[in-house]
Amino acid sequence: MRLTQEFRKQFSQHEMRTHGRKNGFVTTGQEARLTKWLPVIGLSNSMTLKDAKIPENSPIVMEIGFGNGDFLVQLAKNHPEWMLIGVEIYLPGVAKAVARLEDAGLIERTRITQLPAQFVLTRQVEEEQLDGIFVNHPDPWPKARHHKRRIIQKDFARLMVSRLKPGGFIKLASDVDELAGWMREILDATPGLINVAGDAGYIERDEDRVFTKFEQRGLREGRSSQFLHYVKETKA
């Protein structure tokens, strides 16, 4: 069984060039789950969150770049009141997460998309619609000439803030010191955001935060993570 061209067009294709992992394997079983679930909980490229049948009054929290879904599954378990929007451009990651969410009985509390976060936030999410955004261990792109590929950029930070409700949060993690500093510098300078730890500060790890596969690998290689927590100013 293969995902049809039509299916891919609806759920995967986008006009934006992205960087990072492209190859990878989706098993036949995972394809069957994608075909079953994306028409139900997928955010296709012609939809907005308004069309996503989100129960009224549910807080809406997004995870950008959820990898294989470790953190997303944990969020769904820890916050049964939240509706989660999972955004991940790597199809094998999306496939794994969908399978795990279904197995855990949590999938109907999520909306999943393989479209890039920039597209999703610009075209599919309205201003002040989100209660929170997580960005965990974004790709570091260590070479200076690749820094422009990093997801956290000045414009992207402003875009995230515009989509948050007043009082909404952005939480980030990285085990690459230089990238954590890069994100902190950009977000500290973004109008409308307050660094909960004070300017230039990091927060402690949240107690209920799961160690993702990615983070565990960093730990084995001797890197520990730093955590950032911002809140959008409420209007006076």
Ligand X SMILES: C[S@@+](CC[C@H](N)C(=O)[O-])C[C@H]1O[C@@H](n2cnc3c(N)ncnc32)[C@H](O)[C@@H]1O
> Which residues are catalytically annotated?
139
What's the gap between Cα 89 and its chain centre? 10
Least distance in angstroms from the C-beta of 198 to ligand X: 25
**Residues 6 or more apart from 190 whose CB is under 8 A from it?**
154, 157, 158, 161
> According to DSSP H, which parts of the chain are helical?
5-11, 28-41, 70-78, 91-103, 117-119, 154-163, 177-188, 213-220
Side chain identity, residue 182 = W
Is position 106 an interface residue for ligand X (rule: CB under 6 A)?
Answer: no
| Residues 23-52: x where in contact with ligand X by CB under 6 A, - otherwise, as a string | ------------------------------
Least distance in angstroms from the C-beta of 215 to ligand X: 6
Cα-based torsion angle of the residue sequence 18, 121, 228, 135 in order, rounded to the nearest 10 degrees? -50
Side chain identity, residue 183 = M
**Contact positions with ligand X (CB under 6 A) in 58-77:** 64-67, 70
Least distance in angstroms from the C-beta of 236 to ligand X: 33
Is position 142 an interface residue for ligand X (rule: CB under 6 A)?
Answer: no
Residue with Cβ nearer ligand X (78 or 234): 78
Least distance in angstroms from the C-beta of 161 to ligand X: 17
Using CB under 6 A, which of 196, 214, 223, 227 touches ligand X? 214
Is residue 146 within 8 Å of 73, Cβ to Cβ? no
Residue whose CB is nearest to ligand X in the complex, by number? 65
At how many degrees (to 10) do helices 70-78 and 91-103 cross? 30
Using CB under 6 A, which of 41, 60, 110, 116 touches ligand X? 116
- Structure token digits, residue 75: 């969020």
Binding site for ligand X (CB under 6 A): 18, 20-21, 64-67, 70, 87-90, 93, 116-118, 136-139, 151, 212-215
